[in-house]
Amino acid sequence: MTDEPYLARPGPPVGSVSVRRANLSLVLRQLRDHASLSRADIAQATGLHRATVSNLMAELLDRRLVREVGVEHAGAIGRPRRAVALHGAHVGALGMEINVDYIAAHGTDLSGRALVERRVVFDAMSSGQDRALRRLCLVAGEAVTAMKRAGAAPAGLAVAVAGLVNAASGVVTFAPNLDWHDLPLADRLSDALGPVRVPVTVDNDANLAALAEHASGVAAGTPDLVYLTGEVGVGGGIVAGGRLLRGADGFSGEVGHLPVDPYGERCGCGRIGCWETKVGLAALVRAAMPEQAYELPGSPVPDPEERVAEMARGLTAGDPRMLAAASKAGRWLGLGGAIVVNLFNPRVIVVGGYFAALAPWLLPHAQAELERLAVAGPAARCRFVASDLGFGAASRGAATVVVNQLIDDPTSIMDPPPRPTAR
Ligand SMILES: [Zn+2]
């Protein structure tokens, strides 16, 4: 491998540079979507000439972005064919999430192999914007170090934030439960990570979790699905026709702030009676275990998973107060689900976070209420399904976004940019 910057060479004309980039991307996308393929399979699937595929493959092998994985025998006759698979063990993709009570990191290599997985309990609710940002940068820096130790230098970072995010500019417009307003998070993180500039993407947590579900969750491949985050806040990620629905400004899916009760409680966003004041984790904890309510001052923030595990133990033991609270939250979940079904007609509503952890006590009530209230009723054939990705769905989705960005433009990892000229 050469360290010489590709762009510094007397290069081919611009048109062929973009053709090369598009073809490399086409080949890598095939390998992302299949465990392994022969060169002939790739030529057939992409419509590229066999010789072109061989040339591209030689380059990808040289850059260690793909690897030979053995020999495929295609039928009784014909020559055995060598198969290749996505590799890129030295290319890191770091996904992160900052939520009300934790920060999570999920680092993979280009093939999606997990290298780093961390979740740090952190009270972002009361620590303020600057401290939360410093902590996020600290966890990001530690994850970068751990990934480098595992042999993969991060080539991109994506961060999931529970709030309204302008993904194009990387600015968090408003995160009610974090109390963030107009925070240029992509720039701030990029500066904090120091001299090694990695591209930073910021997106809404539910959008990224929906992408993770669509790529590798319980309803993987379902073209019309809605993902609901079951955290202190409740957000929605909508996949319609196989694509993430973003809306004009990227603010779609704010289902947690659907006004469902004009006489209800005040929400983190300042409005009254939002859906998340009925189904968010804080509401459930307040009803099921008031001695552990989020609003109590002075007590350390418990791990959300421990809080939920304690509730699962109580529900299993038949604690009447907890059963009543879960049944009520389940019915409110079904009411919001009915609104979602009336709007988007998804086949599946995948629920994450605590909704998944307490699914046996929530989803039967939610499903019954959904079928009672959705205008198409049972004809809409939409099921509530518990995610199996746990609290890490959004950070995993964030890492997937980075991998997809690298695969969309593999020259970004193959051809180092020209060295800055000395000033
Ligand atoms: Zn609200």
| Tens digits of residue pLDDT in 262-292 | 999 999 889 999 999 999 998 999 999 888 7
For residue 91, pLDDT beyond 80? yes
What pLDDT, on the 0 to 100 scale, is given for residue 206? 93
Find the 90 Cα to ligand 1 centroid distance in Å.
43
Find the 234 Cα to ligand 1 centroid distance in Å.
9
Find the 258 Cα to ligand 1 centroid distance in Å.
7
What pLDDT, on the 0 to 100 scale, is given for residue 14? 57
Find the 268 Cα to ligand 1 centroid distance in Å.
6
Find the 97 Cα to ligand 1 centroid distance in Å.
20
Residue 397 has which token pair? 């989705």
**Got the DSSP string for 134-170?**
HHHHHHHHHHHHHHHHTT-EEEEEEEEESSEEETTTT
**Got the DSSP string for 171-213?**
EEEEETTTTEEEE-HHHHHHHHTTTS---EEEEEHHHHHHHHH
How high does pLDDT run on average in the chain? Answer: 88
Find the 354 Cα to ligand 1 centroid distance in Å.
19
Find the 274 Cα to ligand 1 centroid distance in Å.
5
Find the 279 Cα to ligand 1 centroid distance in Å.
12
Find the 238 Cα to ligand 1 centroid distance in Å.
19
**Helix, strand, coil abundance in the chain, percent, nearest 5:** 45, 20, 35
- Amino acid present at 405: Q
Contact 184, 200 (CB under 8 A): no
Find the 132 Cα to ligand 1 centroid distance in Å.
21
d(CA 88, CA 66): 6
Find the 277 Cα to ligand 1 centroid distance in Å.
8
pLDDT digits (tens, 9 = 90+) for 218-264: 999 899 999 999 888 899 999 999 889 988 888 889 999 999 999 99
Find the 257 Cα to ligand 1 centroid distance in Å.
4
Find the 261 Cα to ligand 1 centroid distance in Å.
11
Find the 260 Cα to ligand 1 centroid distance in Å.
10
Find the 235 Cα to ligand 1 centroid distance in Å.
11
Ion ligand 1 — residues with CB < 5 Å: 257, 267, 269, 271, 274
What pLDDT, on the 0 to 100 scale, is given for residue 390? 78
Paired with 274 in beta bridges are 259
Per the model's pLDDT, the better-predicted residue between 99 and 262 turns out to be 262
pLDDT band at 8 (very low <50, low <70, confident <90, very high): very low
What pLDDT, on the 0 to 100 scale, is given for residue 335? 97
d(CA 168, CA 35): 32
Find the 178 Cα to ligand 1 centroid distance in Å.
13
DSSP state of 409: -
Count other Cβ atoms within 10 Å, centred on residue 58. 10
The alpha carbons of the chain give a radius of gyration, in whole angstroms, of: 23
